[in-house]
Structure 1
């Protein structure tokens, strides 16, 4: 990192901390003690109101918060931001209903001429193949804000067969294979659930007290809240390497991979109401999967393929 760039980041770092030590700077910016001392001198020269406090518990203090210079990005950071924007192009719905076209125009117009030319060359050299968003999700902003504010929502949820009203506490939202999903705690059923956002037709903020503390829960570990019901049916399927790759692309908290005698299996459970879901999911593996148990699941998959043949 160039010194000018490091000093710029250091200004923001100490402006946020207000009180810091040489060790803080050394760890944050991966620099030596000598370099940290030189950087502090450089910051003082450009007017940063820093004073030293000596003694066993000494360090550096900022007299008052500073007006910071505008954030600047190097060329590599600009390219990374451009790539990130391209990854959003396939979604017609985004939280907060931000206009991606507007952001793109402002981004391009803010670049230096040479950087703009490089971005144009990237457009001619890189293609982004997206999974297009399949259905509109009208309530992404409300769901995300509820997760941030730790609120409980009353929602109408429409599946293929029925419409229900739920009270849910959103945890996080994520996109996968053309759909938006909401990880949530179902207050009504006292269970962790994942909802397809496009199937949420109405949303209403409630005064219901949240049942779980989200401080330690995030989009990455929310599945740990999931627990099968007493009626859940256990299943086990043998898969080959193609099946492993398919599983890694799409799986659910009710299932996991295990290895036995050098063979790989999917083991898990499904609820009696999820027969259509589990059959469709297993069928998506094609020839890379073989049902070990239960027998009823094997029969349902066989019926599924017979029905497909009848429709040819």
Structure 2
């Protein structure tokens, strides 16, 4: 019997059992019951779970029946370095309470990794979890597997549908929108759908929280890809502006920025970047946001309307101090 004890976690037992199976050409339920000190019912559940994880087993019925791993179909081992394990868990910690999709899968990955790594690495991860505090985390509850934030069910549904087809029909309490889904965006803790709306042939933004139903369009009602590309190209013909941002302006940018703003970093440390903006309407909120970026934002190129509005706004501010 492997000295695992009753306190052994299920995840650890499952992966130890997978290695046990891989090292044998044939095994029975009695082998598992004796080796791991478990009941027959538990052994059967574990075998089914291991099959779900992808280990290809074949069963032989009868008095001498048992299980064997299919020849030449054993899953290839995946090895992680110490730093790679830390990188994965830091990514999990940094995205807690972000209402991201596929949360259950993310949690199962964490459970699998915990079961695979030695106790010393587990202790290091626990210490990292206590040391690193990210936005939205609870420092008084340093649980590595505390990943219980769930995404909006409508986001999960729309994401799964869009993997098959980007042509969608989105319905809110008051309107129905038919179009091509460009992106799913997350901003300030909320998720949005960026949609090329067919009726107006313009790009609009819809809050996922406002959606009541989502569905794919029938193939017969889907414009061709060339038509979609042409409509998207027409969006890019609008006036645009270009700004150079230093580290301070980039920090302001990350606090808030319009969906259509694009930041391209110019150095590996992300201390400088170029800001481009294609849609300059409505103008007044745009001017307020550009001033919000601070003195670290330097104008490179902009339509005359933006330059005039900026000058007018700065003059009005200056008069308040005269």
1:231-270 mapped onto 2 (5 Å cutoff): 234=239, 236=241, 241=246, 245=250, 249=254, 250=257, 253=260, 268-270=277-279
In 2, the alpha carbon distance for the partners of 1:95 and 1:115 equals 28
Preserved CA contact (<8 Å) 2:167 2:179: yes
Instruction: Give CA deviations for 1:195-249 in whole Å, capped at 9, x if unaligned.
Output: 44344454233325433549xx9xxxx9x9454388x5x4657666357635875
In terms of mean alpha carbon deviation, does 122-131 or 145-154 score higher?
A: 122-131
RMSD: 4.9
1:147 aligns with 2:159: no
| Displacement of 1:150 | 1.3
In 1, the alpha carbon distance for the partners of 2:176 and 2:208 equals 14
Query: When the two structures are aligned, how many residues end up with a matched partner?
Result: 221
**Secondary structure in structure 1 of the residue aligned to 2:235:** coil
**Secondary structure in structure 1 of the residue aligned to 2:73:** coil
1:285 aligns with 2:293: yes
Aligned position for 1:88: 95
TM-score in terms of structure 2 length: 0.49
Preserved CA contact (<8 Å) 1:235 1:269: yes
1:113 to 1:240, Cα distance in 2 relative to 1, 3 A: closer
Aligned position for 1:211: 223
More strand by share: 1
TM-score in terms of structure 1 length: 0.51
Q: Which runs of 5+ in 2 are unaligned?
A: 1-69, 139-150, 265-272
Preserved CA contact (<8 Å) 1:180 1:197: yes
In 2, the alpha carbon distance for the partners of 1:194 and 1:98 equals 28
Q: Which runs of 5+ in 1 are unaligned?
A: 1-63, 258-263
| Displacement of 1:267 | 6.3
In 2, the alpha carbon distance for the partners of 1:304 and 1:103 equals 56
1:1-312 mapped onto 2 (5 Å cutoff): 66-69=72-75, 71-76=77-82, 77-91=84-98, 93-96=99-102, 98=104, 104-105=110-111, 107-129=113-135, 137-156=152-171, 164-207=175-218, 209-211=221-223, 213=225, 225=232, 227-228=234-235, 234=239, 236=241, 241=246, 245=250, 249=254, 250=257, 253=260, 268-270=277-279, 272=281, 274-275=282-283, 277-289=285-297, 293-294=304-305, 297-298=309-310
1:123 to 1:269, Cα distance in 2 relative to 1, 3 A: closer
